[in-house]
A and B are shown apart, each in its own frame.
Chain A
Amino acid sequence: MADHLSPLAWLLALAQTALFVAIAPLFASWVKRVKSRLQNRCPPPLLQPYRDLRRLFAKEVLLAETASPVFRVAPYVVCGTAVLAASVIPLVLVAIPMAAMADVIVLVGLFALGRFFLALAALDVGTPFGGMGASREMTVAALAEPAMLMVVFTLAMVASSTNLSTIILHTLQQPLALRPSLLLALLALLLIGIAETGRIPVDNPATHLELTMIHEALILEFSGRHLALMELAAQVKLTIYAVLVANLFAPWGIAAQPGAGALLFAAAALAAKLALFGALLAGAETAVAKMRLFRVATFLAVAFTLALIGMLSFVILEAPA
């Protein structure tokens, strides 16, 4: 434990977190670009989200009359927990001290904390849209939790640990194997990620109709720098799920030791994986239509079933003794 707690390790970890936050808008923009191309539209420029964030930070904040301190604190809590969650995940370097600080279950807890304040801020304004968004968001999150935990359990049983660095190291050190448990856990994590980040078919991130919104309804009242923080938090969350899928299930290329060459190679590998994943996500979003809210329960039940069968096949097929 003491070996990767040196000041250098902390500095590298902080740099990694900064990189994570910096590429989050880029990833979201890439997904939008591929989606636009697939829908035969002209895409916005790749760096547009950065311009949007800069513009929003410069704008003034407008508060509703009924907004209380909870509303004003919420963007900072939401963005803070998202960034903290991002710091826990190994991006280009496997052994980071934050992974010892918080494991996968804490990661899920941090997301839950952000969501709690997001829902409270929506209820704070006293509009029916906020109430609707909060109610739907908490329902979807509640149904996604058991599936997420089942995926965590499967991963933890395979790697005998919930520490993200340990899980990734375990996969790196094993020979290449086709495991039904990890395959099903991957499928389940993809479905859960779509539900938690509010992509089609669960929620349309580009909708303007209030009655169809889940995530958008929660941030309807924010403006100026508050809105910038909320947007950034959503982009970071999307990138977190993409990086989780890429690094937990296909971690080859990640740097096990902090060397300049290894880190550069890891960055290139990660960029390729994220580009591929973003393109697949955009393709899936274009191919499927948004479901109504009560079908989302079935969607998440499918995710839970896949994760459950993954866990069962681990015990039945992979470790029967």
Chain B
Amino acid sequence: MNDAVSTTLVALALLATFGSAAAALPADRYPRLLGGLAFPLLGVAGAASLAVALWLLLGPGAGFTVQLPLGLPWLHWRLRLDPLAGFFLGIIGIVVVAVSLYGPGYVRGYRHGPYSLALLGLATGLFVAGMQLVVLADDAFSFMIAWELMSVASYLLVAYEHQESANRRAAFLYLLMAQAGALLILLGFGVLAGFAGEFTFAAMRTTTLPPVWASLAFALALLGFGMKAGLVPLHAWLPEAHPVAPSHVSALMSGVMLKVAVYGFVRFVFDLLGELRWEWGVVLLLAGSISALYGVLYALVQHDLKRLLAYHSVENIGIIFIGLGLAAIFFGNGLPALGVLGLVAALYHTLNHALFKSLLFLGAGALIQRGHERDLEQMGGLIRRMPWTALFFLVGCISISALPPFNGFVSEWLTFQAALQAPALDSGVLRMVIPATAAMLALTGALAAACFVKVYGTAFLGQARSRHMRRARETSRGLLAAQGLLAALCLLFGVLPTTTVAALGRVTASLTGHAVAAATRQGWLWLTPVSPAAASYSAPLVLLGVAIALGVWGAVWLGLRSRRKRRPVPRTLAWECGFGAIGPRMQYTATAFAMPIRQIFRPVWRLHEEPVREMDPRLPTRPLQLGYRLHAEDLFWNLLYRPIERLLHGAARRVGQIQTGHLRHYLAYSFLTLVVLLWLIT
């Protein structure tokens, strides 16, 4: 029962994406093609994906299953659209639409550079196509092909500005970890296919695995998809690769690709593996909590804006996995109604993170394009130079700090409500561990708010700390439109949680057979996850309250407008203890802002502090240059990655000893092989 509308829309989306890639090929000779044809086609693809999602989740749409004559003769590609795939297609669609609005203005900066525009357009198109195909894939073969397409295309984009050696290093690390993750995922599919007998998801869904093999498959999926999603300790590529890519690609990678990894994990564990064990849920819960806390603590000590945002992605993926862990614990203990709550919370946060992280990366790209500076310590005062960017970035900051009435708050509230259902469990240990992890989640949220006060305060408020920032201009309309769209959606998903939860209910119903009836029973105004007496949140009314409060003051402000025109509010110097005017260097820096937290959580980082102290040789008490630089090295480099690297090098060296260079040894090898083969024949 294939739905014609959804089939057409998906076909349109895929064709438009491939078309965008193809249209970018002549862009080296005709640069206008990139902004004029490739990005608009990408926008069409995004809009079609979004339309499919709305049709499927809010409208009367049903999915489809189709078998394409591509691939191996006995293993054709199967594509399937069900509510889960539709939801993730929607996420891809929204961000791609925003990127297509943003792209034309942004890539103009590369027009006169040494890098190939054709490659940029081609790789972006293939990247999006790969993500869409991963979400639609219905058998392991096409899934892996689409996954690799996604990885390789994104590698080309990460390595785009390849003339800097740091960028090449980051891209190599990214490719290495992507391949390692893909190998683990392939092994996981291999376990499933071994028991199912064939590679299609339909067959895998109906087989039951013995418990040991199921846990092995779970572990492989967690490591493989976790590596792509950025779970600690497999996250090392994230803070290296995301800052290096062009900003619209960073938005796609952080906002969408990590979500596709989450999709892969949800599809594998919640759909294909069948029966969930609660022990897996505990593993997910712990992995998620550690990732969340680790990510936010590392983000606090960064002063490179994009690296900071990359660490926040690690944090938010941790929060998503906390929701998934709670869901698995409840499902494993036979409480499907509560498990669905955890799943809804995780999926809602997936959507929210895609929106506000893309918004923040696009905003960061705008700042970097206009200010030519990635370091927070050189920015400042941009709210006066780039007011619209500042407004949209503020919306992003408020959303990611999980503050009402924006969307980040709703998904955190749902996660807390899911954790609060812990008393329904039998096991006392779980009933104590779950609130403890929820407290860690609260700490994470509060630290994230502190971090974004730091980011916004240092970048936009105060006075400009460098020359470029003093003369930065507002960005072009396309970039502003993209950010405005995402900011509006952040607000929309914050005030319409009940409708979104109802839509997500369709997703969970198709995955697990249970919907979220209780959550939406009171109508669109109230979100009541368990029951009205237990907890309810009415986001529109909270917004109304905030709006009324602001409206009252707005009316007063308008009323006094005429009086203020005659006598504007007088401006004066800020309080500086009477020492005279305050210069930009006297403001708090980003590093200074995070200092108390750095003192309190000191063991978490490996901090390298470089104080610079150059005194005048003629007068030793007069300083010529005083400075301070802080660099935080990831703890897991020395704990995990360097030992693995040493192990691999050691093993490679030992194997390399076979190559002795002596002719007699090589002849001896041939002789030995001949002897062994003859012996085997007998």
Direct chain A–B contact by Cβ atoms under 8 Å: yes
Interface, chain A (partner B; CB < 8 A):
1, 60-70, 76-77, 79-81, 83-84, 87, 100-103, 105-106, 109-110, 112-113, 115-116, 119-120, 123-132, 134-136, 138-139, 141-150, 153, 156-157, 160-163, 166, 210, 220-221, 293-294, 297, 304, 308, 311-312, 315-316, 319-320
B384 interfacial contact with A, CB 8 Å: yes
* A-B residue pairs, 5 tightest by C-beta: A131-B588, A123-B457, A80-B549, A138-B450, A126-B462
**Which of B436, B542, B593, B600 is in CB contact (< 8 Å) with A135?**
B593
Give the contact stretch, choosing among B37-45, B579-587, B637-645.
B579-587
CB distance from B166 to the nearest CB of A (A): 30
Q: How far is the CA of A64 from the CA of B432 in the complex (A)?
A: 50
- Given A153-B435, A163-B534, A294-B600, A113 contacting B450 (CB threshold 8 A): no
Contacts of A315 in B (CB 8 A): 428, 431-432
A131 touches B538 (CB 8 A): no
**Which of B384, B401, B534 is in CB contact (< 8 Å) with A161?**
B534
A297 touches B600 (CB 8 A): yes
A64 touches B456 (CB 8 A): no
A106 touches B575 (CB 8 A): no
**Which of B417, B439, B453, B588 is in CB contact (< 8 Å) with A162?**
B417
Contacts of A76 in B (CB 8 A): 549-550, 553
Residue of B with least CB distance to A1: B532
Most-contacted residue by chain B among A60, A109, A163, A297 (CB, 10 A): A109
Binary CB contact string for chain B from 516 to 547 against chain A (1 if under 8 A, 0 otherwise)? 00000010001000001111111001100110
Q: How far is the CA of A163 from the CA of B538 in the complex (A)?
A: 12
Q: How far is the CA of A132 from the CA of B588 in the complex (A)?
A: 7
B648 interfacial contact with A, CB 8 Å: no
Most-contacted residue by chain B among A61, A120, A210 (CB, 10 A): A120
Residue of A with least CB distance to B406: A113
B383 interfacial contact with A, CB 8 Å: yes
Q: How far is the CA of A106 from the CA of B609 in the complex (A)?
A: 40
CB distance from B387 to the nearest CB of A (A): 8
Residue of B with least CB distance to A68: B383
B600 touches A112 (CB 8 A): no
Q: How far is the CA of A161 from the CA of B421 in the complex (A)?
A: 10
Contacts of A125 in B (CB 8 A): 462, 574
Residue of B with least CB distance to A151: B439
B577 interfacial contact with A, CB 8 Å: yes
CB distance from A26 to the nearest CB of B (A): 22
CB distance from B394 to the nearest CB of A (A): 8
Contacts of B457 in A (CB 8 A): 119-120, 123-124, 131, 134
B398 interfacial contact with A, CB 8 Å: yes
B443 interfacial contact with A, CB 8 Å: yes
Contacts of A83 in B (CB 8 A): 549
A100 touches B526 (CB 8 A): yes
**Which of B435, B450, B452, B522 is in CB contact (< 8 Å) with A150?**
B435
A210 touches B600 (CB 8 A): no
- Give 10 new A-B contacts, CB below 8 A, not counting A112-B402, A294-B600: A60-B570, A65-B571, A70-B383, A101-B542, A105-B417, A106-B404, A106-B413, A131-B593, A160-B423, A161-B535
Residue of B with least CB distance to A87: B545
Q: How far is the CA of A88 from the CA of B117 in the complex (A)?
A: 55
- Given A120-B453, A124-B457, A149-B439, A210 contacting B587 (CB threshold 8 A): no
Interface, chain B (partner A; CB < 8 A):
380-381, 383-384, 394, 398, 401-404, 409, 413, 416-417, 419-420, 422-423, 428, 431-432, 435-436, 438-443, 445-447, 449-450, 452-454, 456-458, 461-463, 522, 526, 532-538, 541-542, 545-546, 549-550, 553, 569-577, 582, 584, 586-588, 592-597, 599-600
A116 touches B401 (CB 8 A): yes
B439 touches A150 (CB 8 A): yes
A123 touches B435 (CB 8 A): no
Contacts of B409 in A (CB 8 A): 106, 109
- Given A84-B542, A127-B582, A160-B423, A62 contacting B570 (CB threshold 8 A): yes
A116 touches B596 (CB 8 A): no
- Given A65-B573, A112-B446, A105 contacting B413 (CB threshold 8 A): yes
Residue of A with least CB distance to B596: A139
Residue of A with least CB distance to B387: A69
CB distance from B397 to the nearest CB of A (A): 8
Contacts of A297 in B (CB 8 A): 600
- Given A145-B446, A163-B536, A139 contacting B597 (CB threshold 8 A): yes
Q: Give the secondary structure class of B's interface.
A: helix
- Given A63-B569, A70-B461, A166 contacting B453 (CB threshold 8 A): no
CB distance from A158 to the nearest CB of B (A): 10
A135 touches B595 (CB 8 A): yes
Q: How far is the CA of A113 from the CA of B587 in the complex (A)?
A: 24
**Which of B417, B550, B573 is in CB contact (< 8 Å) with A64?**
B573
Q: How far is the CA of A36 from the CA of B417 in the complex (A)?
A: 44
Contacts of A124 in B (CB 8 A): 457, 461-462
B549 touches A134 (CB 8 A): no
**Pairs across A and B, CB under 8 Å, 23 listed:** A62-B569, A65-B574, A79-B549, A100-B536, A102-B537, A103-B535, A105-B416, A112-B402, A112-B449, A113-B398, A116-B401, A135-B454, A135-B592, A135-B593, A142-B447, A142-B450, A144-B446, A146-B446, A157-B423, A161-B533, A162-B420, A308-B439, A312-B432
CB distance from B196 to the nearest CB of A (A): 41
- Given A142-B450, A149-B438, A102 contacting B462 (CB threshold 8 A): no
Q: How far is the CA of A11 from the CA of B56 in the complex (A)?
A: 42
Q: How far is the CA of A110 from the CA of B553 in the complex (A)?
A: 19
A110 touches B442 (CB 8 A): no
Q: How far is the CA of A105 from the CA of B443 in the complex (A)?
A: 14
**Which of A113, A136, A153 is in CB contact (< 8 Å) with B420?**
A153
Q: How far is the CA of A147 from the CA of B575 in the complex (A)?
A: 35
Q: How far is the CA of A103 from the CA of B570 in the complex (A)?
A: 41
A64 touches B447 (CB 8 A): no
- Given A66-B574, A76-B549, A146-B440, A135 contacting B596 (CB threshold 8 A): yes
**Which of B403, B413, B438 is in CB contact (< 8 Å) with A113?**
B403
B439 touches A304 (CB 8 A): yes
Contacts of B577 in A (CB 8 A): 210
**Which of B458, B587, B594 is in CB contact (< 8 Å) with A127?**
B587
Residue of B with least CB distance to A210: B577
- Given A127-B575, A150-B439, A113 contacting B445 (CB threshold 8 A): no
Contacts of B416 in A (CB 8 A): 105, 149
Residue of B with least CB distance to A142: B446
CB distance from A146 to the nearest CB of B (A): 4
**Which of A130, A166, A220, A312 is in CB contact (< 8 Å) with B534?**
A166
Residue of B with least CB distance to A169: B533
A166 touches B533 (CB 8 A): yes
A101 touches B537 (CB 8 A): yes
- Given A84-B545, A124-B461, A142-B597, A116 contacting B449 (CB threshold 8 A): yes
Q: How far is the CA of A137 from the CA of B550 in the complex (A)?
A: 25
A63 touches B537 (CB 8 A): no
Contacts of A113 in B (CB 8 A): 398, 403-404
Q: How far is the CA of A143 from the CA of B446 in the complex (A)?
A: 8
Contacts of B419 in A (CB 8 A): 153
Contacts of A106 in B (CB 8 A): 404, 409, 413, 537, 542
Q: How far is the CA of A141 from the CA of B442 in the complex (A)?
A: 11
CB distance from B288 to the nearest CB of A (A): 16
A66 touches B440 (CB 8 A): no
Contacts of B594 in A (CB 8 A): 135
Contacts of A150 in B (CB 8 A): 435, 439
A66 touches B449 (CB 8 A): no
Q: How far is the CA of A68 from the CA of B600 in the complex (A)?
A: 32
Q: How far is the CA of A191 from the CA of B439 in the complex (A)?
A: 17
B462 touches A66 (CB 8 A): yes
Q: How far is the CA of A76 from the CA of B522 in the complex (A)?
A: 32
A116 touches B403 (CB 8 A): yes
Q: How far is the CA of A166 from the CA of B531 in the complex (A)?
A: 12
Residue of A with least CB distance to B564: A61
A311 touches B435 (CB 8 A): yes
Residue of A with least CB distance to B583: A126
Contacts of A64 in B (CB 8 A): 571-574
